[in-house]
Amino acid sequence: MTSKSEFIERFKAKTKQLAVDVVKLMNTLKSCKAGNTISFQIIKSATSTGANYRAACKARSENEFYAKVSIVLEEADETLYWLEIIEELDLVENTEELKRLQEESIEIIKVLTAARNKKYKK
């Protein structure tokens, strides 16, 4: 495997693990009306991050890659948004895991931003 393909596989695993870890954290969310809605939204965005990254890796053109990576970036940023809301509303006990997931989301956002920008620097 080349270093590029190794990176792609590691990043696929990283985005998938984010989804798994978010789902696990949501299973510990304090039970309330807002928590149920937030849990539904963040699970959608976190799982979509990984799923759409896999789709971006199968892009048939640079334009398709750019479009799909843009979706992945939006979903990762939305995941970070919901993690911030969860923190501000104090909806989880495990604040260390919450912080770790926020940092993981930020790292994913940075990588995706760099990948998208690199693809379209003229």
CA dist 2 and 84 (Å) reads 36
Which domains occur in the chain, in start order? 3-119 (1.20.1440.60)
CA dist 103 and 80 (Å) reads 9
pLDDT tens digits, 56-113:
999 999 889 899 999 999 999 999 999 999 999 999 999 999 999 999 999 999 999 9
Instruction: Give helix then strand counts, H and E, for the chain.
Output: 4, 0
pLDDT tens digits, 24-45:
999 999 988 999 999 999 999 9
Report yes or no: 25 and 94 within 8 Å, Cβ to Cβ: yes
Cα 14 from chain centroid? 9
pTM equals 0.92
